[in-house]
Amino acid sequence: MLLEPMEIWEHGLQTGNVVVTTSIVGVLIIISEKYRVLDRTGVYAAAALGLLVGVLGHWTWLVILLMFLGSSHKATKWRFEEKAEKGLCESIDGHRSWGNVVANGGLPGLVTIIAFLLDDHETGLWVFTASVAVATADTFASEIGCLDDRVRMITTMKKCEAGINGGFSPNGQLAAAAGSCLIAIAAFAVEMNVELASMVALIGWLGCQVDSVLGALLENRGFMNKGTVNAAAITFGIITMWCYLGTPHL
């Protein structure tokens, strides 16, 4: 089936968008199986989420989400043996499960559904990207910052052990900024707006700080778990960008 060049840039349930999205998801499945980015149930969850995001949103949104998946996998595998020795790994070989997919991709998926129902893909892109930026910043901070011994508790600024909820380090902060900026650059490539891309980068980094504060105050006391803390931080990113888009800006 031949597609007109402009067809692939149409959002939502348009033939071009559906074909490109389906093709990307097919490649995702192959790569995930080959390189063990996800376990079997994780692959199924990622494929379903990818179809939802691409078909109801746009395939470029799916690419942004896959940038999170791919870069997070690289961050997870970075100095993996050293992290494993210190007991700082979530799995024995660095793969992610369906729970990770849902925790980090569920809310971006919800944003996609709302954007589709409201037929507002322009606003949806930036809210969606902000949510992905938070997830990326938090993952980078956790996977890279955990090997930095200069760790302090975010609520007290006292020294603490690496890997503890609420702990932050210089390397972790830089990693969070890098992860957030990576997603912001991807958003800028899709919709060339410097102001909003800059906000994505800022919100992603701030969302990582929210995650740390909630981890220190609530997760360590048993009132929240890792999944709910991640969801709360991503929700912060969604609400912050939505509120910003509701104010006058260039």
Does residue 12 lie in a domain region?
yes
**Per-residue confidence band for 38, with pLDDT thresholds at 50, 70 and 90:** confident
pTM above 0.75, yes or no: yes
Of the listed ranges 10-19, 54-63, 109-118, 207-216, the least confidently predicted one is 10-19
Does residue 215 lie in a domain region?
yes
pLDDT in tens, 1-33: 555 666 788 887 888 999 999 999 999 888 887
Does residue 1 lie in a domain region?
no
Does residue 160 lie in a domain region?
yes
Closest CA to 186 of 172, 173, 200: 200
Does residue 153 lie in a domain region?
yes
Asked if residue 191 lies in contact with residue 130, where contact means CB atoms within 8 angstroms, the answer is: no
Residue of higher predicted confidence among 107 and 249:
107
Does residue 250 lie in a domain region?
no
pLDDT in tens, 125-140: 999 999 999 999 999 9
**Per-residue confidence band for 225, with pLDDT thresholds at 50, 70 and 90:** very high
SS3 38: strand
Give the domain range for residue 122: 8-245
> Terminal CA-to-CA distance of the chain, rounded, Å?
41
Does the pLDDT at position 95 exceed 90? Answer: no
- Written in H, E and C, the secondary structure of 60-83 is HHHHHHHHHHHHHHHHHHCCHHHH
**For the chain, give me the number of helices (H) and strands (E)?**
9, 2
Does residue 57 lie in a domain region?
yes
Number of domains, the chain: 1
pLDDT > 90 in the chain, percent: 64
Does residue 100 lie in a domain region?
yes
